[in-house]
A and B are shown apart, each in its own frame.
Chain A
């Protein structure tokens, strides 16, 4: 799904590295202003098929896919997310594939989410600010505040019907481990030109949509993630980073028993 975004993000790192000559420290968890879970009712968060990919970054820049690593990472991340303390009250459900009209609604919204996420990446994460989003302030010395008000619109209600979820979580992680050849090149390049060749790519992105309103209520981008999702322990670390700043659903006082 977010493959295009993913490509964009990995491209961005490399581009920024090349241009600025250093690794960027772009990371940030952003929550929509005034977001709060509704009081006193259980919520359900559904997760769309996450885009997880692990490969090797080779000397020529070839991002070589590795199916075994990817499969391991996919399972580990799902397990880690399901058992994350952040998700204790989330009734987290990983969704399967859809068919027919349901698939159309899901695909259309994935495409839309990708476009929204691309805009937020550019205008929030990368800091290419849009002046219309500036929050008016009377204090000239105050730090500039920008509204985070992107939304997919209330049409996401259709996703509620299809999935039964109150909120939808989209995420991807993309890892590319530098291999031996690449590490040699890195030294060479650094020696010759002082240029920075990234030793590997470890990026993650997660976002949550309120399916009633379509609002993006939280998103997190991390372009230099820790934790090796190829093993269970690493995946836990990765998930805790991915969910950094995630608005944790509140504990329900008493579940109403029928």
Chain B
């Protein structure tokens, strides 16, 4: 995780002062269907978003409105058995859980929670609601969560939708500070989730 962050920072920083042309964010225009995370997962946002050119994992993609610390949508398209939700940066000491064979919809929030606890290095993570949903035509699970990272007074809140087809995972999560930001942009994130299909 640390290494990965280092890399990301190096990328971000290296690209900035020297070559502003290599901007890290691309416009995602509203009302146009777009395939995300280099897979078949397709969404149609109802507002303009910014897409990060850095991919946390091959099958992952990050969007934001004001900065990832303030509102972040994370897409995963087509994760298969043995793969991790985020980059397994400290595999030796703190391996992330991998997608396992035979996972069902109820396992998705647990997989998400465990991945986040390890990646964020926090125990202050709670799933606050789990309900059935649809991703396009397919069965899906929708869940809500809250967390705080170590040493921070800031609570974050999130919601996510996940779906499995033939053991392959498709997931969209939205995370923002619980104060102001979560509610401020929730409808835009919900529009993305409601439009999702694969």
Which chain A residues have a beta carbon within 8 Å of chain B's beta carbons? Answer: 4, 12, 15-16, 19-20, 24, 26, 107-112, 114-116, 118-120, 122-123, 126-132, 134, 150-153, 155, 214
In-complex Cβ contact of A153 among B14, B17, B23, B184 (8 A): B184
Q: Is the interface of B mostly helix, strand, loop or mixed?
A: loop
Can you list 9 contacts pairing A with B, beta carbon distance less than 8 Å? A15-B10, A19-B13, A20-B18, A116-B67, A122-B67, A127-B20, A131-B27, A131-B48, A151-B180
Q: Evaluate contact between A119 and B69: CB separation under 8 angstroms.
A: yes
Q: Evaluate contact between B9 and A111: CB separation under 8 angstroms.
A: no
In-complex Cβ contact of A115 among B12, B17, B50, B69 (8 A): B69
**Bound state CA distance, A84 and B68, in angstroms?**
36
Smallest CB gap from B156: residue in A: A115
Q: Evaluate contact between B153 and A132: CB separation under 8 angstroms.
A: no
Q: Evaluate contact between A153 and B20: CB separation under 8 angstroms.
A: no
The interface residues of chain B lying within 8 Å CB-to-CB of A112 are 154, 177, 179-181
The interface residues of chain B lying within 8 Å CB-to-CB of A114 are 154
A118 CB to closest chain B CB (Å) equals 5
Given contacts A153-B179, A153-B181, contact A128 B14 (CB under 8 A): no
**Bound state CA distance, A12 and B14, in angstroms?**
11
In-complex Cβ contact of B66 among A15, A20, A107, A119 (8 A): A119
Q: At the interface, yes or no: B130 with Cβ under 8 Å from chain A?
A: no
The interface residues of chain A lying within 8 Å CB-to-CB of B48 are 131-132
The interface residues of chain A lying within 8 Å CB-to-CB of B103 are none
Given contacts A19-B14, A128-B23, A128-B25, contact A155 B180 (CB under 8 A): yes
**Bound state CA distance, A121 and B36, in angstroms?**
27
The interface residues of chain B lying within 8 Å CB-to-CB of A20 are 17-18
The interface residues of chain A lying within 8 Å CB-to-CB of B12 are 122, 126, 128
B122 CB to closest chain A CB (Å) equals 14
Q: Evaluate contact between A108 and B179: CB separation under 8 angstroms.
A: yes
**Bound state CA distance, A116 and B184, in angstroms?**
14
Q: At the interface, yes or no: B32 with Cβ under 8 Å from chain A?
A: no
Smallest CB gap from B183: residue in A: A153
B100 CB to closest chain A CB (Å) equals 34
The interface residues of chain B lying within 8 Å CB-to-CB of A126 are 12-13, 16-17
Q: Evaluate contact between B152 and A111: CB separation under 8 angstroms.
A: yes
Given contacts A128-B12, A131-B26, contact A115 B154 (CB under 8 A): yes
Smallest CB gap from B63: residue in A: A132
The interface residues of chain B lying within 8 Å CB-to-CB of A118 are 67, 69
